[in-house]
Amino acid sequence: MSAPEIISTSDAPRETFVLNVGPQHPATHGVLRLKLTMEGEYVVRAEPICGYIHRMHEKMGENRTWAQFLPNTGRIDYLSAMTYNHAYVAAVERAAKIEVPLRAEYIRVITSELNRISSHLVWFGAFLLDLGGFTPLLYAFDDREQILDILEAVSGSRLTYCYYRFGGVCNDVDADFVRGCRDFVARMRPRLKMYKTLVTDNIILRKRLEGIGFINSEMCRKYGATGPVIRGAGVAYDVRKIEPYSIYRDFDFDIPTFPEGDCMARYLVRMEEMAQSLRIIEQAIGRFPDGPTLTHGVPRMLKPPAGDYCFAVEAARGRLLVRIVSDHREIPYRVRLRTPCFSNLSLFEEASAGMILPDALAELGSLDLVIPDIDR
């Protein structure tokens, strides 16, 4: 289905006006500005204007040692910081040929999947708040607090994590971590069923999302959109399956896809992804190996061999690619971040044309944008 056409008469002049949404409007989820050209209630053009929170992370990567750039990665997509840690350290490990102990790989997978669930819970609560529902936000943040307690105990942080190291992780986990993960899995599965009854099956939500905000697979490929956006268009693209990294190939999990391509499809992808992350965590905890969590002998001042190296991971919002260029010095020659939110936002202008304003804002929320991930 295509977007509805704007109604106009041939003998009447077309009157439009410009509406600014942001940069501090609550519907933009951050310092994003949308310059909307409107004809009545219909969007003629939605022009995203970026740059209000640009911090030059890539340039900072060229003025710090390889290790000093690590804290930056947790501040790009602050809701998916563990996977951003993972992408950067894995790229450097690939360049420097550093082996990672098996126990450390298990810890990375468990913490990344916990972080993925916590990220989706923030989106779930905020998205429903955009649509006028306040109660789900309280439930979502209650569940998220359980994850933050688990991750804080091992990383010392609740949001902008810097837990991974070249060759492993900085701290080993203990029995309390394992017990906390098991308890969370047991708690979260009934909660997902409750979310289905309370929210997903709610007729008001379905009328608000079904048939709204169509994004097909061709549009996703055109703009490079990934993550739940392309999976909500029926394409089973997930880096954990397509380009398996770490130990993801050892786990049994599915890639949720919904072919409808509307806001509801993207909603359902994320809700099902939380269930799949619980499957991964449960399997990892069930065969958690002993052993070291950090490779010995990694020099404090790394000098990776000269070359061009890339590493991709599946972050909460899609494919994150880290490209590093080394000239065999203590400081990277080039750090390039291909983040998912910039590509996912890029299609909004085309996808929102002809929509009424409330539906366009629902579509914007269904993209799950983190603005520092765009203005990096």
pLDDT score recorded for residue 13: 63
d(CA 367, CA 123): 9
pLDDT band at 54 (very low <50, low <70, confident <90, very high): confident
Residues 6+ apart with CB under 8 A from 108: 82, 86, 100, 164, 169, 246
Is residue 215 within 8 Å of residue 261, measured between CB atoms? yes
Residues 6+ apart with CB under 8 A from 87: 73, 311, 312, 313, 315, 320, 321, 322
Domain range for 281: 17-374
d(CA 234, CA 256): 9
pLDDT band at 14 (very low <50, low <70, confident <90, very high): confident
More confident residue, 360 or 8: 360
Q: Which helix (H) or strand (E) holds 3?
A: none
pLDDT (tens digit per residue) in 239-256: 999 999 999 999 999 999
Q: Among 23-37, 126-140, 207-221, 293-307, where is mean pLDDT lowest?
A: 23-37
pLDDT (tens digit per residue) in 178-220: 999 999 999 999 999 999 999 999 999 999 999 999 999 999 9
pLDDT greater than 60 at residue 7: no
- The arithmetic mean of pLDDT across residues 307-324, rounded, is 97
CATH number of the domain where residue 332 is located: 1.10.645.10
pLDDT band at 11 (very low <50, low <70, confident <90, very high): low
pLDDT score recorded for residue 52: 86
Q: Is residue 206 part of a domain?
A: yes
pLDDT score recorded for residue 5: 52
Q: Is residue 7 part of a domain?
A: no
Q: Is residue 4 part of a domain?
A: no
Quick one: angle between helices 175-195 and 102-130, nearest 10?
Answer: 30
Q: Is residue 75 part of a domain?
A: yes
Could you give the number of structural domains in the chain? 1
Q: Which helix (H) or strand (E) holds 203?
A: helix 203-209
Q: Among 137-151, 170-184, 223-237, 362-376, where is mean pLDDT lowest?
A: 362-376
pLDDT (tens digit per residue) in 265-308: 999 999 999 999 999 999 999 999 999 999 999 998 999 999 99
The encoded tokens of residue 146 equal: 């359980």
- For residue 190, count CB atoms less than 10 angstroms from its CB and return exposed for 0-12, middle for 13-18, buried for 19 or more: exposed
Is residue 113 within 8 Å of residue 280, measured between CB atoms? yes
The encoded tokens of residue 127 equal: 């998205």
Q: Among 27-36, 65-74, 222-231, 307-316, where is mean pLDDT lowest?
A: 27-36
pLDDT (tens digit per residue) in 73-123: 999 999 999 999 999 999 999 999 999 999 999 999 999 999 999 999 999
301: helix, strand or coil: coil
